[in-house]
Amino acid sequence: MSQSEFRSPKGTHDKLPQDHQYMTYIKKAVRHRARQAGFKRIDPPMFEERAVFERGIGNHTDIVEKELFSVGRKGTEEGSDAYALRPEFTAGICRAFIQHGMQELPQPVELYAIGSCFRYDRPQKGRYREFNQFDFEVIGLSDPSLDAQLINVTYQILKDLQIIDRLTLQINNIGTAENRKEYVQALKDYFIGKERNLPELDRARLQTNPLRLLDSKEEDTQILLKRAPTLDQFLSDESKKYHATLLEYLEALGIAYIENPLLVRGLDYYNQTVFEYWDQSTGAQNAVGGGGRYDSLIELLGGKPTPGVGFAGGIERIMWHMKEAGVAPPDKDQVDVFVAQLGPEAKKKCLVLVNELRNLGFHTVGALGEASLKSQMRLADRFQARYALLLGQMEVKEGTIILKDMAAGKQKSMKFEKALPELIKLIGEENLDTYAIRDHLGEFSDPGE
Ligand code: HAM
């Protein structure tokens, strides 16, 4: 433990090398499945005009009301809270869709993003102030088959990461904006005279965002809700048909789901389909991902009416599940060869040797300091190197080198030139970490032409 007074800020985490083995593995699965399904990568900025989130996600959601991180500069025209760090990707991606005229592209436009998001929440297990999401958006068409395809992509990723068995897919249809308006009115009517029995927070929500009562964690609210009208009573035939068709498609794809009439999600932009992946043991708390359809969002942000559907997964929560499930990503940081040397001539030869080894694809660490061979070998042990090459003054004179198998503790002397072919044989050519740009580079043409 360090003696410094400085620690990473509350609710943030250093992503250490051992964490990156998981991160890299998860990102690989995401990129792989995204490309298979025709998604293209987009990176909206880390911060946006505050209004993008306020209008997009909704002023009376927890995310906007309590959790936005302000960004700006005091004394400037824009002011100190003109911008906010992104709490999610969807609003920013939709803003970009409009700004770059993507409605002219063949529809639907399929985009994905990976990166950190920020929510000023009270830090607790699985709930951080900086966290990472991967996000998928399918924009331009509204059809249950698109919802089914999107769910399928997310399902495959969670399956690839070997955690799907720990999760349940919760799904609901929250109808059209019209359906919800009628329902919200009915809910308000139902609570007339009962407000006093509601906990304070939910009493406020009844005014600002009554649908949020449905997934309230308050016991008193849940008891009152038992006799309240339910959303499905207000769904139009069109919404019911949409939902039934989606469920049929999920069945055809072999995707298990649980219908959850209380699932509404914490962002305002949804209509029709909403879904979440829940931990089987803890339920609604710490969902590993969620999404749904948002057919009015683009219009709300100033674009032409354009429907969309999307999903975001929480990378930290997925990592936690992988660790719990004992899923270990392969260690790509192992050291294959440690090169030890003694004397100025040996040092020069080793410098070149290390370069050759690395170019051949061996993960190579060279001890190029002045320490004794013995202490260099201790270092080789600590690096958990598989093999060590030793070049002392005598070896330089004789044109030889010593190869040591670290685990077996055995070593042999050989002609200097023999060392590389021998190591290739030992490690196996197929295990070398070679890097080559295999794709052909296209001719660069000026897009302005
Ligand atoms: P969300 O449910 O707010 O949806 O977040 C998606 C996932 O991000 C959560 O299920 C969770 O795994 C992770 N997450 C959220 N907040 C935190 C936090 N404070 N700490 C750690 N992980 C967290 C959205 O963000 C929507 N934009 C999803 C979407 C995309 N809908 C349509 N398109």
Task: Average the pLDDT over 90-111 and give the result.
Answer: 98
User: Is a pLDDT exceeding 90 seen at residue 406?
Assistant: yes
Strand partners of residue 387: 337, 405
- The closest-lying atom of ligand 1 relative to the alpha carbon of residue 89 is 27
CB distance 116 to 132 below 8 Å: yes
Rounded to 5°, the CA angle 104-106-111 comes to: 95
**Which residue, by CA, sits nearest to atom 9 of ligand 1?**
289
**Do residues 288 and 420 both lie within one domain?**
no
Check whether 106 has a pLDDT greater than 90: yes
On whether both 302 and 341 belong to a single domain, the answer is no
Residue nearest to atom 31 of ligand 1 (CA): 291
CA distance 401 to 416: 5
Q: Is 123 in contact with 101 (CB distance < 8 Å)?
A: no
Which helix H or strand E contains 187, and what residues bound it? helix 177-191
pLDDT in tens, 117-126: 999 999 999 9
| CA distance readout (Å), 441 to 36, 331, 438 | 21, 31, 9
pLDDT tens digits, 184-225: 999 999 999 998 999 998 999 898 889 888 878 899 999 999
Give the Å distances, CA to CA, from 98 to 95, 105, 107, 140: 5, 11, 14, 11
Both tokens assigned to 30 = 């995401």
What CATH code is carried by the domain that includes residue 421? 3.40.50.800
For ligand 1, say whether the CB of 231 is within 6 Å of any of its atoms. Answer: no
Q: Tens digit of pLDDT for each residue in 255-265?
A: 999 999 889 88
Q: 421: which 2 tokens? A: 């072919």
Distance of CA 21 from the midpoint of ligand 1 (Å)? 22
Judge if 313 and 381 occupy the same domain: no
Question: Is the CB of residue 287 below 6 angstroms from any atom belonging to ligand 1?
Answer: yes
Centre of ligand 1 from the C-alpha of residue 383, in Å: 38
51 plus 152 within the same structural domain: yes
Can you tell me which atom of ligand 1 is nearest the CA of 313?
7
Q: Are both 395 and 262 inside the same structural domain?
A: no
Total domains, the chain: 2
User: Looking at the domain assignment, is residue 442 inside a domain?
Assistant: no
Please report the atom of ligand 1 found closest to the CA of residue 91. Answer: 27
Q: Are 301 and 401 contained in the same domain?
A: no
Which residue from 366, 381, 357, 371 is spatially nearest to 432, judged by alpha carbons?
357
Neighbours of 296 (CB within 10 A): 18
Hey, which residues does 48 pair with through a beta bridge?
84
Is there a domain that residue 423 lies in? yes
Is 225 among the domain residues?
no
For ligand 1, atom 8, name the residue with the nearest CA.
314
Looking at the structure, do residues 163 and 263 belong to the same domain, yes or no?
yes
Q: How far is the CA of 367 from the centre of ligand 1 (A)?
A: 45
Residue 193 in any domain: the answer is no
Q: What pLDDT shows up at residue 361?
A: 96
The yes-or-no verdict on residue 143 having pLDDT over 90 is yes
Query: How does pLDDT run across 324-368, given as a tens digit for each residue?
Result: 999 999 888 999 999 999 999 999 999 999 999 999 999 999 988
User: Within a domain: residue 397?
Assistant: yes
Question: Is the Cβ atom of 135 under 6 angstroms away from ligand 1?
Answer: yes
Give the integer Cα–Cα distance in Å for 108 and 306: 10
Distance 99 CA to ligand 1 centre (A): 24
Where is the domain boundary, 303, 324, 345?
A: 324
With residues binned 3-state (H G I as helix, E B as strand, rest as coil), the percentages for the chain, rounded to 5, are: 40, 20, 40
- 67 C-beta closer than 6 A to ligand 1: no
Q: Does the CB atom of residue 92 touch ligand 1 within 6 A?
A: no
Rounded to the nearest angstrom, the distance between the alpha carbon of 399 and the centre of ligand 1 is 61
Cβ neighbours of residue 277 closer than 8 Å, sequence gap 6 or more: 154, 158, 167, 168, 169, 170, 287, 288, 289, 290, 313
Ligand 1 centroid – CA 312 distance (Å): 6
Asked if residues 57 and 357 have their Cβ atoms less than 8 Å apart, the reply is no
Report yes or no on 10 lying in a domain.
no
CATH (domain of 46): 3.30.930.10
- In this prediction, residue 21 carries a pLDDT of 94
Q: Where residue 449 falls among pLDDT bands split at 50, 70, 90? A: very low
CA of 132 to the centre of ligand 1 (A): 9
- Please say which residue of 270, 289, 324 terminates a domain: 324
Q: Which amino acid is at 121?
A: D
Return the best residue to mutate from 53, 97, 134, 317 for the ligand 1 pocket (most ligand atoms within 8 A of CB). 317
Nearest CA to ligand 1 atom 11: 314
Whether the link from the prior residue into 108 is cis, omega within 30° of 0, is yes
pLDDT beyond 60 at 1: no
Report yes or no: 21 and 332 within 8 Å, Cβ to Cβ: yes
Under the banding of pLDDT at 50, 70 and 90, the label for residue 3 is confident
Residue 292 CB–ligand 1 contact under 6 Å: yes
Residue 260, in any domain of the structure: yes
Among candidate residues 324, 354, 382, the one where a domain is terminated: 324
Residues 78 and 150 in one domain: yes
Tokens of 443: 């001719």
Amino acid identity at 119: R
Ligand 1 contacts CB of residue 134 (under 6 A): no
Find residue 400's DSSP bridge partners: 415
Q: How far does the centroid of ligand 1 lie from the alpha carbon of residue 289, in Å?
A: 6
From 122, 133, 134, 316, mutation site for ligand 1 pocket: most ligand atoms within 8 A of C-beta: 133
Q: Whose CA is nearest to atom 33 of ligand 1?
A: 310
Q: In a mutational test of the pocket of ligand 1, which residue from 10, 88, 320 has the highest number of ligand atoms less than 8 Å from its CB? A: 88
Are residue 365 and residue 427 in the same domain, yes or no? yes
**Boundaries of domain holding 396:** 337-436
Residue 68 per-residue DSSP state: P
Question: 131 CB less than 6 Å from ligand 1?
Answer: yes
Our answer on whether the CB atom of 88 is closer than 6 Å to any ligand 1 atom is yes
Which residue has better confidence, 395 or 439? 395
Percentage with pLDDT > 70 across the chain: 97
Q: Is 311 in the pocket of ligand 1 (CB under 6 A)?
A: yes
Nearest CA to ligand 1 atom 15: 314
Q: What is the mean pLDDT of the chain?
A: 93
How many angstroms separate the CA atoms of 200 and 195, rounded? Answer: 9
In a domain, 447, yes or no: no
Asked whether residue 304 falls in the same domain as residue 398, the answer is: no
119 in contact with ligand 1, CB cutoff 6 A: yes
Pair 390, 252 in one domain: no
383 and 307 belong to one structural domain: no
